[in-house]
Amino acid sequence: MATVVGTRTSARSRRVASTSWLRWRDLDLALLVAVVLLGMLGCVLVWSATVNRDDLTGGDPKAFLAKQIVNLGIGIGLMVVVAATDHRWVRILAPIGYAMAVVGLVLVLVMGTTINGSRSWLMIGGLSLQPSELAKLAVVVGMALVVAERSEGRWRDRVGTIDVLLMLAVAALPAVLILTQPDLGTMLVLSATVFGVVAASGAHRRWLAVLAGSGVLVAVFAVATGFLEQYQVDRFLAFTDPGRDPRGAGYNVEQARIAVGNGGLFGQGLFDGSQTSSGFVPEQHTDFVFTVAGEELGLVGAAFVIALLGIVIWRALMIASRSDDVFGRIAAAGIACWFGFQAFQNIGMCVGIMPVTGVPLPFVSYGGSSMFAGMLAVGLLQNIHLRTISAPASRMQPAKRVLVRG
């Protein structure tokens, strides 16, 4: 007679189960280093952009530096929490995060503060919060979750019409609320991100054509019907012809291009940029922080910033390609699209190849909302990466029955 008295798992499985903390050694180090370097470099650039601006700092030259260091520290903390969270909890909490983002966008319309023509900010206890930044991540995660929940257990991988419509429904509500503020820059980034998520989901190409055509029609309708504010229309006109209004709508673009052009190959030196020191570039610590790198660090320094951003996007795409589940693949691809288009938009408006729309440079521009949203997204990327590389080890080998004959 044979009796089962115990089971044995593989040695590797037991090591993983008993020393889960070793997973931290498996973090995507290239992604982590690039993001931290961008954050640190951003602190220095923000400091340089504000050190001579008494009108902003109130006489404390390190005021913005200290705030940005705090933003970076909190952001890194959020990244660690998300990376360490069990992936099942990530999917459970995703709808709650989406609901909170929508509530924040509604509160902005009810009791928000208008800055630079856009009602995008909530003032809470002296702190400012921009819910639209967090909404980008909420939309990406929400769309990925919809496809993942509907695809599990299905025999086919093709994303159908219902799937696409549900994804677009998830994105539609935040998009309408953001457009109502109106925050055109965030809307453009969100539109590009949604397009990327739909493409990564495996939807039929005709849906991509429909989305692209719809975007063009909406843009034409907005301009033709006067939906856009006049200052937004003026910015687009200044983009097509910067010399049209050099002291008005074209001023930002002109001064930004002068600052970047002043840098040459190696720059004028940190804290020594003529345009930066004189405060000629508006919103230089936020939307136009890249001009500080261009003027003071030159082409070499600006290229270094772009290279770090490129590493972040590259690692996000690699994580998406290696993910073994639908949710991870689509979420990582959506984050890559978000970071990629927003970085292109921000740098493009600093060098005059994109219209001024007021979007921050990821991990570099001053501001807590953008930093927190970006770091949460990086934490999710690390979470997906850790789950992907640990999946082969965590799948327990078939139990070996130890038989005792008697």
- What is the pLDDT at residue 342? 96
Helices (H) and strands (E) in the chain, counts: 16, 5
What is the spatial distance between Cα 241 and Cα 13, in angstroms, rounded to a whole number? 63
pLDDT bucket at 23, cuts 50 / 70 / 90: low
SS3 call for 231:
helix
What is the spatial distance between Cα 289 and Cα 299, in angstroms, rounded to a whole number? 15
- What is the pLDDT at residue 252? 80
Q: What is the percent of the chain with per-residue pLDDT over 70, rounded to a whole number?
A: 81
- Cis peptide upstream of residue 182 (ω within 30 degrees of 0): yes
- What is the pLDDT at residue 304? 97
pTM of the full structure? 0.86
Residues contacting residue 131 through CB under 8 Å, at least 6 positions apart: 101, 104, 105, 107, 108, 120, 122, 369
What is the spatial distance between Cα 151 and Cα 160, in angstroms, rounded to a whole number? 10
- What is the pLDDT at residue 111? 84
* Mean pLDDT (whole number) for 337-352: 93
**What DSSP assignment string belongs to 104-150?**
HHHHHHHH-EEETTEEEEEEETTEEE-HHHHHHHHHHHHHHHHHHHH
Q: Which two tokens stand for residue 311?
A: 């590493």
Query: Is a pLDDT exceeding 50 seen at residue 74?
Result: yes
Q: Count of alpha carbons within 13 Å of 281, Cβ hemisphere only? A: 35
Sign of CA dihedral 152, 157, 163, 164: positive
What's the whole-number average pLDDT of the chain? 83
* Mean pLDDT (whole number) for 276-304: 92
- Between CA 378 and CA 384, with CA 379 as vertex, the angle to 5 degrees is 95
Query: Mind listing the pLDDT tens digit for each residue in 111-140?
Result: 877 776 677 888 877 678 889 999 999 999
Query: Mind listing the pLDDT tens digit for each residue in 202-236?
Result: 888 888 888 888 877 877 776 666 666 666 666 67
SS3 call for 204:
coil
What is the spatial distance between Cα 309 and Cα 27, in angstroms, rounded to a whole number? 18
Query: Is a pLDDT exceeding 70 seen at residue 237?
Result: no
Query: Mind listing the pLDDT tens digit for each residue in 269-281?
Result: 999 999 988 888 8
pLDDT bucket at 195, cuts 50 / 70 / 90: very high
- Torsions phi, psi for 115 (to 5 deg): -130, 125
